[in-house]
């Protein structure tokens, strides 16, 4: 009955509290003192904690061998450390998994985001939670089977305890209630206690001289990093075409063009947050860059430098040619590393209601 760290209970529900709440403006363009957007949903402590158990439980996969945490590992920034995600397998090793088209996105601060998938096609966290569960090339569980498993396990009573007292959820199926629980837990994964945040709120020595140079570059007109990666989320929650190279042998990914039908968004992908970015390598929608240094060099090398020949894509106009030297690139990387904060990591359950073992973290 206790809210996760960073939340307080109001009217029975957990509400996120942050010093960023003192700022009135949501329209900052790189300014340090910009407010956070509101979270889309709020839940009770019991609903959030039930979602934690479901998140780590392999019961949600067809073969009972894979949980959400196999691909969204806490120690890897809630990504998986792989260039591209692996599905339908225990663990995340290429020898045992189904290679998926895109990199596993981080879940840090996901409760604040409107665009949840790389191509922008998923915009509702509750709906998104069960997409990988039902996907044949991911967790490969049939919807009817999930309902049966929840009904025949301890989860039936736990879901009733968490949702039965609220008429908004009482008429939902067990699977729909589980989706809300998963969304509740994922929304509790917040990260706003980095050294950068300490600097914003007055600890002027929180950043090193090199990190300060990187922050200045990040906010400069020369790089324009902060015009897309707007603090404090470090994302403007939009789509952008960058001309990122495809890995050898992989066909061009049309990105947002497919769900939107817009030719001008061919090759566009969501602009991710940079919070905990030092933990989530490899990078970009296809994991083509193995280090932060590679990403910064890609931008420093200039506009559309890696766009596939003959592809009719429109590179985002912010992607210029900053012509940064090696020291400036290193300064930017140093600043990006200052955005790391895992102080609110959740506890991995020692035992699961299903009786299955939680994945090794």
**Tens of pLDDT along 137-164?**
999 999 999 999 999 999 999 999 999 9
Please list, in sequence order, all residues whose beta carbon lies within 8 angstroms of the beta carbon of residue 109, skipping any fewer than 6 positions away.
189, 190, 191, 192, 233, 273, 275
So what's the pLDDT on residue 86? 86
In a domain, 211, yes or no: yes
So what's the pLDDT on residue 204? 93
In a domain, 73, yes or no: yes
Quick check: 80 pLDDT over 90?
A: yes
Alpha-carbon distance of 195 to 113, in angstroms, equals 22
- Tens digit of each residue's pLDDT (9 = 90 or more) over 183-239: 999 999 999 999 999 999 999 999 999 999 999 999 999 999 999 999 999 999 999
92, 86 in Cβ contact below 8 A? yes
Per the listing, tokens 């339908």 go with 88
Are residues 154 and 20 both part of a single domain? yes
Domain that holds residue 181: 7-25+37-187
- Tens digit of each residue's pLDDT (9 = 90 or more) over 87-111: 875 454 555 577 899 999 999 999 9
* Cβ-based neighbour number of residue 77 at 10 Å: 24
Are residues 113 and 223 both part of a single domain? no
Mean pLDDT of the chain: 92
Closest among 361, 347, 356 to 65, alpha carbons compared? 356
Into how many domains does the chain fold?
2
Are residues 260 and 283 both part of a single domain? yes
Please list, in sequence order, all residues whose beta carbon lies within 8 angstroms of the beta carbon of residue 319, skipping any fewer than 6 positions away.
240, 242, 243, 299, 303, 304
Cα 209–chain centre separation: 29
Closest among 243, 255, 253, 261 to 318, alpha carbons compared? 243
DSSP-assigned states of every residue in 261-324: --GGGTTEEE----TTGGGS-SBSTT--B-SHHHHHHHHHT-TTTTPPTT------TT------
Alpha-carbon distance of 79 to 59, in angstroms, equals 20
79, 111 in Cβ contact below 8 A? no
14: CATH:
1.10.760.10
- Find the helix or strand (DSSP H, E) in which 147 lies: helix 143-151
279, 77 in Cβ contact below 8 A? yes
Per the listing, tokens 């989320």 go with 233
Binned at pLDDT 50, 70 and 90, residue 358 comes out as confident
Alpha-carbon distance of 266 to 188, in angstroms, equals 33
Are residues 210 and 295 both part of a single domain? yes
Are residues 206 and 297 both part of a single domain? yes
Closest among 292, 290, 249, 258 to 119, alpha carbons compared? 258
So what's the pLDDT on residue 96? 54
Please list, in sequence order, all residues whose beta carbon lies within 8 angstroms of the beta carbon of residue 123, skipping any fewer than 6 positions away.
114, 115, 116
So what's the pLDDT on residue 319? 79
So what's the pLDDT on residue 162? 97
Kindly state the average pLDDT of the residues 54-83. 95
Kindly state the average pLDDT of the residues 286-307. 88
In a domain, 349, yes or no: no
Quick check: 176 pLDDT over 90?
A: yes
- Tens digit of each residue's pLDDT (9 = 90 or more) over 117-126: 999 999 999 9
- Tens digit of each residue's pLDDT (9 = 90 or more) over 2-40: 999 999 999 999 999 999 988 876 655 557 888 898 998
Closest among 38, 40, 35 to 24, alpha carbons compared? 35
Residue 151, SS3? helix
Are residues 126 and 16 both part of a single domain? yes
So what's the pLDDT on residue 27? 56
In a domain, 351, yes or no: no
């Amino acid at each position: 009955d206790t809210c996760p760290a960073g939340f307080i209970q109001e009217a029975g529900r957990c509400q996120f509290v942050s010093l960023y709440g003192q700022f009135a403006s949501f329209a900052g363009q790189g300014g340090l003192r910009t407010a956070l957007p509101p979270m889309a949903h709020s839940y009770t402590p019991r609903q959030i904690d039930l979602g934690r158990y479901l998140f780590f439980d392999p019961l949600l996969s067809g073969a009972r061998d894979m949980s959400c945490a196999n691909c969204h590992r806490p120690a890897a920034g809630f990504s998986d450390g792989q260039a591209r995600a692996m599905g339908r397998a225990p663990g995340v090793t290429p020898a045992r998994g189904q290679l998926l088209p895109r990199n596993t996105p981080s879940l840090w601060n996901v409760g604040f985001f409107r665009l949840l998938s790389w191509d922008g096609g998923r915009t509702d966290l509750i709906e998104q939670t069960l997409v990988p569960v039902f996907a044949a090339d991911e967790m490969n569980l049939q919807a009817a089977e999930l309902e049966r498993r929840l009904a025949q396990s301890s989860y039936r009573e736990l879901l009733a305890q968490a949702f039965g007292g609220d008429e908004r959820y009482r008429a939902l199926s067990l699977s729909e209630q589980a989706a809300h629980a998963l969304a509740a837990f994922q929304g509790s994964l917040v990260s706003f206690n980095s050294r950068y945040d300490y600097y914003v709120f007055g600890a002027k020595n929180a950043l090193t001289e090199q990190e300060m140079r990187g922050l200045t570059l990040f906010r400069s007109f020369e790089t324009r990093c902060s015009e897309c990666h707007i603090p404090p989320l470090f994302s403007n929650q939009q789509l952008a075409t960058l001309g990122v190279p495809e890995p050898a042998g992989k066909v061009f990914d049309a990105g947002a063009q497919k769900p939107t039908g817009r030719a001008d968004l061919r090759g566009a992908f969501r602009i991710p947050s940079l919070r905990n970015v030092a933990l989530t390598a490899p990078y970009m929608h296809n994991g083509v860059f193995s280090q932060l240094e590679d990403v910064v060099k890609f931008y420093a090398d200039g506009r559309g430098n890696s766009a596939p020949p003959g592809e009719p894509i429109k590179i985002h106009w912010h992607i210029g040619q900053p012509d940064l030297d090696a020291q400036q690139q290193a300064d930017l990387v140093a600043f990006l590393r200052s955005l790391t904060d895992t102080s609110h990591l959740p506890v991995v359950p020692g035992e699961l209601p299903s009786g299955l073992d939680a994945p090794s973290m």
